[in-house]
Amino acid sequence: MIEISNLIKAYNKEVVLNIQQLTINRGEVFGLVGNNGAGKTTLFNLILDLIVPSKGHVINNQINVQESEDWKSFTGAFIDESFTIGYLTPDEYFGFIAELRELNQADMDKHLDRYEDFFNGELRGKKKFIRDLSKGNQKKVGIAAAMMGNPEVVILDEPFANLDPGSQYKLRHLIKEQAAEMGTTFLVSGHTLDNIIDVCSRLVILEKGKIVKDVPKTETTLSEIEDFFAGVKEEVGVEL
């Protein structure tokens, strides 16, 4: 589904991402973990053609993302609040995305009904602008919009951050449900290992811009990942 080859991003000759080869298969729930500055957001920004690589390329469903915008029709994403439109209300924004995805009102409502518990009665039917919402509620708007229209690929950067434990649990269920029912390919990053390991079928660790571990989820994956980060912490004195 997504193929990455010889992908390098450097700023002022400092290499912040260097991935020689990475393939993310169709229908996979791909989890990306790493310390701050490991290159997670940089990788997602390159996949979404938000920044230009210093070298290499990204192929999304046989489309080079730098050479064509056709991939956008089947790809949803939420990186941060800049992906929404702050001067709209949630309902106005959902209507805008539904129009882009060529959904009618009934289809949009059917999609958003799945998020009723996730929204916790705080978003739909309100007059508050997105920019005035809490960080957590802004994230809920962006995530629900990213998953609208049954996209083949959904990219979520730190989706569990700023969410209360109940909302984290509900989001885990929504991701797993959409992956199972619709075969959506998910790319999800995060710091909280329990959330990422629960929803993902495959885990990749980035460290200083390079892949240092790539494993399928098994009964021992959590302990293996925790042991890795414990070793990193002891070795370089980083705060996890």
pLDDT digits (tens, 9 = 90+) for 66-109: 999 999 999 999 999 999 999 999 999 999 999 999 999 999 99
pLDDT over threshold 80, residue 222:
no
**H helices of the chain, where?**
40-47, 90-100, 105-113, 116-119, 135-146, 165-182, 193-199, 221-236
Percent of the chain with pLDDT over 90: 82
Beta bridge partners, 8, equal 18, 55
Euclidean distance between CA atoms 213 and 225, whole angstroms:
9
pLDDT bucket at 234, cuts 50 / 70 / 90: very low
Sign of CA dihedral 60, 82, 207, 168: negative
Query: What's the whole-model pTM score?
Result: 0.91
pLDDT over threshold 90, residue 239:
no
Euclidean distance between CA atoms 176 and 92, whole angstroms:
27
Question: Helices 90-100 and 105-113: crossing angle, nearest 10°?
Answer: 120
CATH topology of domain 2-236: Rossmann fold (3.40.50)
Euclidean distance between CA atoms 94 and 123, whole angstroms:
11
pLDDT over threshold 90, residue 148:
yes
5: its two tokens: 């080859």
Average pLDDT of span 129-151:
96
Q: Identify the three-state secondary structure at position 75.
A: strand
The amino acid that residue 186 corresponds to is F
Q: Worst-scoring range by mean pLDDT, 54-58, 79-83, 98-102, 192-196?
A: 192-196
225 or 45: which leads in pLDDT: 45
Q: Worst-scoring range by mean pLDDT, 45-54, 139-148, 208-217, 222-231?
A: 222-231
Euclidean distance between CA atoms 71 and 58, whole angstroms:
11
